[in-house]
């Protein structure tokens, strides 16, 4: 799928998690719901850091371009050294390999949670800044593409500072789900995992499929492109994505939000 659809799917998924949490008596304070939605929306773009033309690879200038080259090389290395006989031997890059797996999503989420716990406010600000910028690039892509990167970064920095301050207020969610004094903000990794997995599932319903289950082998392949039956797949950016999936994500997100907040 394209960036805007990925971002919408990540946002809708976290709002759905909020609805589920409310039904299990672990309701999210509204700041957790809001921040998690923004983070999940941004994180839903992150797996494409292995592609130089992707939104995330262009969002932070030379820094993200350089990181993209590293991730692409690392992903290609992982593919070449773990492929089985059924996997293609002619792949020339790392796109849709390592960063498009469940293992990557879990490790990245756990890593960000560990950073938030270990380094506190500055790590939280960095996590929020990066993901708010990505959320703006994904959800408001038309406005973002006609604006200076600097303006988007300033918006991300302002939002990160404001949201971190709100979360730190008593009862606003710094200790949501993980309540020990040394576990504040540990939950920040969860929307990152949710967003990354939604990206993978979104790619799995396109024509190329997605190797979500790596490193679990399926048949003679370790990089098996999981997906729906081929007759149900579509090309990224097609009318199915624009006319059906994106409106569906908006509707589902709205239902999730109202349920999570106890409106319905």
What is the predicted pLDDT for the residue at 116? 95
2 — pLDDT class (breaks 50, 70, 90): confident
DSSP 240: I
- How far, in Å, are 45, 226, 228, 238, 249 from residue 244 at the CA level? 20, 22, 17, 10, 9
Each residue's pLDDT tens digit, 11-30: 999 999 999 999 998 899 99
pLDDT per position as a tens digit, 146-197: 677 889 999 999 999 999 999 999 888 889 988 888 899 999 999 999 999 9
Specify the pLDDT at position 144. 67
Q: What is the DSSP string of 108-148?
A: HHHHHHHHHHHHTHHHHHHHHHHHHHHHHHHHTHHHHHTS-
Closest to 45 (Cα-Cα) out of 191, 161, 257, 187: 191
128 pLDDT exceeds 70?
Answer: yes
Of the listed ranges 61-65, 115-119, 130-134, 139-143, the one predicted with least confidence: 139-143
Sorting pLDDT into bands at 50, 70 and 90, what band is 145?
low
228, 205 contact by CB (below 8 A): yes
Both tokens assigned to 165: 């301050």
pLDDT per residue over 63-109, tens digit each?
999 999 999 999 999 999 999 999 998 888 889 999 999 999 999 99
pLDDT at 37 over 80: yes
136 vs 116: CA distance, rounded Å: 22
Label residue 123 by pLDDT band (50, 70, 90).
very high
Selected residue with higher pLDDT from 140 and 14: 14
Residue 142 has pLDDT above 80, yes or no: no
Q: Spell out the alpha helix ranges (H) of the chain.
A: 3-23, 30-43, 55-58, 62-82, 102-119, 121-139, 141-145, 149-167, 189-204, 239, 246-260
Is residue 237 very low, low, confident or very high in pLDDT (cuts 50, 70, 90)? Answer: confident
Q: What is the pLDDT of residue 129?
A: 97
Statement: residue 1 has pLDDT above 80: no
Of the pLDDT bands very low, low, confident and very high (cuts 50, 70, 90), residue 264 is: confident
> In the prediction, which pLDDT does 171 show?
86
The CA distances from residue 85 to 80, 81, 204, in Å, are 11, 12, 22
Give tens-digit pLDDT for 241-261: 889 999 999 999 999 999 999
């Amino acid at each position: 799928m394209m960036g805007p659809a990925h971002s919408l799917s990540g946002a809708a998924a976290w709002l759905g998690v909020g609805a589920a949490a409310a039904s299990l008596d672990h309701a999210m304070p509204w700041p957790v719901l809001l921040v998690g939605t923004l983070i999940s929306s941004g994180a839903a773009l992150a797996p494409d850091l292995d592609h130089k033309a992707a939104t995330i690879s262009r969002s932070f200038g030379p820094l993200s371009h350089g990181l993209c080259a590293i991730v692409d090389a690392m992903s290609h290395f992982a593919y070449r050294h773990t492929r089985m006989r059924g996997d293609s031997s002619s792949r020339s890059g790392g796109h849709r390999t390592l960063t498009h797996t469940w293992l990557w999503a879990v490790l990245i989420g756990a890593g960000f949670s560990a950073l938030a716990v270990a380094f506190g406010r500055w790590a939280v600000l960095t996590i929020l800044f990066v993901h708010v910028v990505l959320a703006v690039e994904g959800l408001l892509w038309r406005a973002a593409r006609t604006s200076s990167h600097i303006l988007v970064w300033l918006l991300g920095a302002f939002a990160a500072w404001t949201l971190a301050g709100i979360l730190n207020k008593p009862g606003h969610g710094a200790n949501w789900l993980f309540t020990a004094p040394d576990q504040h903000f540990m939950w920040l990794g969860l929307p990152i995992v949710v967003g990354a997995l939604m990206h993978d599932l979104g790619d799995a319903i396109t024509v190329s499929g997605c190797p979500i289950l790596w490193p679990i082998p399926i048949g003679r392949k370790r990089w098996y492109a999981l997906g729906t039956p081929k007759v149900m797949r579509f090309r990224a950016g097609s009318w199915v994505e624009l006319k059906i999936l994106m409106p569906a994500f908006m509707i589902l997100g709205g239902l999730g939000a109202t349920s999570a907040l106890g409106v319905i």
